[in-house]
Amino acid sequence: MRAYASNSQHFSFFSFDLDPWNMGADELISIDPLELKFPFELKKQISSSFQLLNMTDNHVAFKVKTTNPKKYFVRPNNGIVLPRSTSNVMVTMQAQREAPPDMQCKDKFLVQSVVARPGATPKDITPEMFNKEAGNHVRECKLRVVYVSPPKPPSPVPEEPEEGSSPRAAEFENRYSNSSEFATVFRERVEVHDSATQARALFSKLTEEKNHAAQQIERLRRELELLRHGRTKSSIKVPFLYVVLIALLGILVGYYMTNS
C-alpha cells in the first residue's frame, strides 16, 4: 500500500497496487507517456508533460496526485477532458541542490479519472467525486519519474569544409550554422552597410553645402570691395564740385561789382 498526496491539497489516500501500466477496456482516459522523463540538472527547474486522451463520449474529470507534492508543481492538477478530446498536463520539478544516488527516483504520480455530468467545467470538480468509498467508479493510472541525462552541448570543433568550398565560406557556415543566428548577423551587416551608405551621402551633401557657402562668401566679399571703392570715388568728387561752385560764385560777384 502506497500513500499519495494531492498537489493542491495536502491530504493522503491509500490505494492498493493494481497493475499500474495496463489499461483495461473500461478505462476513461489514455495517458501518454507513462513515464515522466526529466533531464536532470542541479539548481535548475525542469519540466515534463503528459497528455490525457478521453476515449469516451462523456465529460471526464481528472485529478493528479504525487508522492512528493513539495517537489513538483503540476498545472493543471485537475480538470475536465471533453469527449473525444485531449488535455495536456505540465509537471515542473523544483530546482534540486544534490543529485539522487545512481540517478534513481522513487517519486510517482497518480492520475484519477471519473465520469462527470454533461457540460461540467473545472469549477464543478469536488474531492467527493474521487471518493471510492462513496461508491464512485474511480479509475486510476500511475506514472513513474525517470531521470535522464541532459542534452549535450554542440561540439565546438568545426567541421571540415567540403571539397571545392573556400575556407572563408566554410568558417562562415560553421560559425553561423544556426539559421536564426545567421539571419541576425546578416541583418546587422545590412544595417551597417545602409548606415555607411547614408553616411557617405550625408558627407557629400555637407561638402556641396560647404562649397556653396564658400562661393556665397566670396561673392559678398567682392560686392563689399566694390561698395568701398565707390564710396572712395564719391568722397573725392564732392570737394571738387564744391571748389567749382565757389569759383563760379566768385566770378559772378566780381562781375557784378565791376558793372556796378
Three-state secondary structure call for residue 229: helix
Instruction: Residue 90: name the closest of 51, 122, 34, 121 by CA.
Output: 51
> What length does the chain have?
260
Instruction: Residue 69: name the closest of 130, 4, 15, 113 by CA.
Output: 4
Q: What is the pLDDT along the chain (260 residues), one digit of tens a residue?
A: 455 655 543 333 333 333 333 344 468 999 999 999 999 999 999 999 999 999 899 999 999 999 999 999 999 999 999 999 999 999 999 999 998 888 899 999 999 999 999 999 999 999 999 999 989 999 999 999 999 988 777 766 655 555 555 555 555 555 555 555 656 666 676 576 677 778 788 888 888 888 888 888 888 888 888 888 776 665 555 566 667 778 777 787 777 777 66
Strand locations in the chain (E): 2-6, 12-15, 29-32, 35-39, 46-54, 59-66, 72-75, 78-81, 86-93, 108-116, 139-148
